[in-house]
């Protein structure tokens, strides 16, 4: 029973981080209708900046700097895409793949074969909660994710920008005619998406991970099933999808010896199995908007 609770705790923490990554995808998509495939390289950029700055400035100052740098990188992508006016959303999404390749290649060259320590204050320390041992880094990640996601949900519901973004997502042309500045909505969406990527990258590179390595940009790929599960245009779906994927991955990996007949490393495959199962039942995801075409 203790083992199950520990796996659930770790899975919940991991799921909240996946929810942060998925929320970044969703916000940019809702604000611009563009799927940002460069989100993984932005995540790695934020973590890389923290790892390089932390030795001289400390973890917390480096984290702030990492978020600022990643937001600047996100705005640069937004600027590049804005130069391609008239192109459809699919073409812009493909352009983000090119940006991702360039940025990932440069970060991989800079990191090389090394594993960069994040110099976080938690290290490998653990804490006992009701007989369950949980890494402090996982607790910190979960706390930050809960606060961040809660503030974002309140932002969507109670602020003018949230209303503008929902209107732009529902019908951009009508929103523009009503006086909503779509450019401003898109810019803020990219800024928030970049900040979320940086935050998730930092915690994904802490314990139990040894640090940041050259494969950090692939972390965002693990969040793809969470986005598809919840629905690409649903903020609540991003949270549910992230937690579901984190739980499934933690439990499957934790009980890997009992599930040996499924093959080694099935924990990494399980989220995609869930994604396919949900897509067969509901192609738009659990909370995604269904599109209807009148013939």
Q: What is the pLDDT of residue 291?
A: 62
pLDDT in tens, 173-217: 888 888 888 888 899 999 999 999 999 999 988 887 888 888 877
Alpha-carbon span 44 to 50, nearest angstrom:
10
Alpha-carbon span 214 to 40, nearest angstrom:
12
Q: What is the pLDDT of residue 262?
A: 74
- Note whether 125 and 133 are within 8 A (CB): no
> What is the pTM (predicted TM-score) of this model?
0.89
User: Tokens for 146?
Assistant: 């809960």
Q: Where are the beta strands (DSSP E) in the chain?
A: 126-129, 132-135
Q: What is the pLDDT of residue 256?
A: 74
pLDDT in tens, 213-265: 888 777 777 778 888 888 888 888 889 989 998 898 888 888 877 777 777 77
Candidates 23, 59, 46, 55; CA nearest to 202 is 46
On average, the pLDDT of the chain sits at 86
> Is the model more confident about 292 or about 64?
64
- Grouping H, G, I as helix, E, B as strand and the rest as coil, residue 178 is coil
User: Tokens for 202?
Assistant: 């930092």
Alpha-carbon span 90 to 74, nearest angstrom:
18
Domain boundaries, the chain: 1-123+130-220
List 132's β-bridge partners, or say none. 129
Candidates 106, 108, 115; CA nearest to 206 is 115
Buried b (16+ CB within 10 A) or exposed e, 44-69: bbbbbbbbbbbeeeebeebbebbbeb
């Amino acid at each position: 029973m203790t083992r199950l609770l520990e796996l659930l705790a770790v899975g919940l923490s991991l799921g909240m981080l996946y929810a942060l990554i998925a929320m970044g995808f969703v916000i940019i998509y809702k604000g611009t209708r563009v799927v940002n495939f460069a989100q993984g390289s932005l995540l790695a950029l934020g973590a890389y900046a923290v790892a390089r700055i932390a030795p001289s400035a400390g973890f917390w100052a480096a984290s702030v700097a990492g978020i600022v740098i990643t937001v600047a990188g996100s705005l640069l992508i937004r600027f590049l895409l804005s130069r391609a006016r008239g192109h459809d959303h699919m073409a812009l999404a493909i352009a983000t793949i090119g940006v991702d390749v360039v940025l990932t290649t440069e970060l991989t060259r800079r990191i090389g074969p090394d594993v960069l320590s994040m110099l976080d204050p938690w290290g490998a320390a653990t804490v006992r909660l009701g007989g369950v041992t949980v890494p402090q880094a996982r607790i910190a990640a979960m706390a930050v994710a809960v606060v961040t996601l809660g503030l974002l949900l309140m932002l969507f519901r109670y602020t003018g920008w949230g209303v503008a973004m929902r209107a732009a997502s529902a019908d951009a042309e009508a929103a523009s005619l009503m006086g909503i500045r779509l450019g401003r909505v898109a810019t803020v969406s990219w800024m928030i998406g970049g900040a979320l990527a940086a935050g998730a990258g930092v915690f994904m590179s802490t314990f139990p991970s040894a640090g940041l390595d050259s494969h950090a940009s692939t972390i965002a790929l693990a969040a793809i099933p969470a986005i598809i599960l919840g629905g690409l245009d649903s903020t609540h779906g991003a949270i549910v999808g992230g937690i579901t994927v984190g739980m499934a991955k933690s439990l499957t990996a934790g009980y890997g010896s009992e599930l040996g007949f499924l093959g080694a490393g099935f924990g990494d495959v399980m989220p995609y199995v869930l994604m396919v199962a949900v897509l067969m039942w509901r192609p738009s995801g659990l909370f995604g908007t269904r599109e209807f075409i009148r013939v």
